[in-house]
């Protein structure tokens, strides 16, 4: 049976065990923290770099190269 994940934009992503998930449906916490930091601290902030790296590693874990 497929599992559904709902993100904050109310998008529903149907995940089947053999399907690769959509990028919008994974690493939501890491993405939110990264985006908030970039919004309030700016693109060049040293504070955001660990959050960006954490997000990249999370995405790579799902097979996405950033």
Q: Where are the domains of the chain?
A: 3-61
Query: What was the pLDDT predicted at 9?
Result: 44
Give the burial class of 18: count Cβ atoms within 10 A of its Cβ; 0-12 exposed, 13-18 middle, 19 or more buried. exposed
Query: What was the pLDDT predicted at 12?
Result: 52
Q: Is 27 marked as binding a ligand?
A: no
Q: 15-32, pLDDT tens digit by residue?
A: 555 678 999 999 999 999
Q: Is the pLDDT of residue 38 over 60?
A: yes
Better-scored residue on pLDDT, 27 or 13: 27
Q: Is 24 marked as binding a ligand?
A: yes
| Dihedral sign for Cα atoms in the order 44, 47, 49, 54 | negative
3-state secondary structure of 3: strand
At CA 58, angle to CA 31 and CA 35, rounded to 5?
Answer: 15
């Amino acid at each position: 049976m497929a599992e559904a994940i709902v993100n904050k934009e109310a998008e529903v992503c149907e995940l089947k065990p053999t399907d690769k998930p959509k990028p919008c449906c994974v690493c939501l916490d890491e993405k939110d923290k990264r985006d908030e930091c970039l919004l309030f601290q700016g693109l060049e902030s040293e504070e955001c770099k660990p959050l960006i790296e954490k997000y990249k590693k999370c995405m790579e874990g799902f097979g996405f190269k950033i």
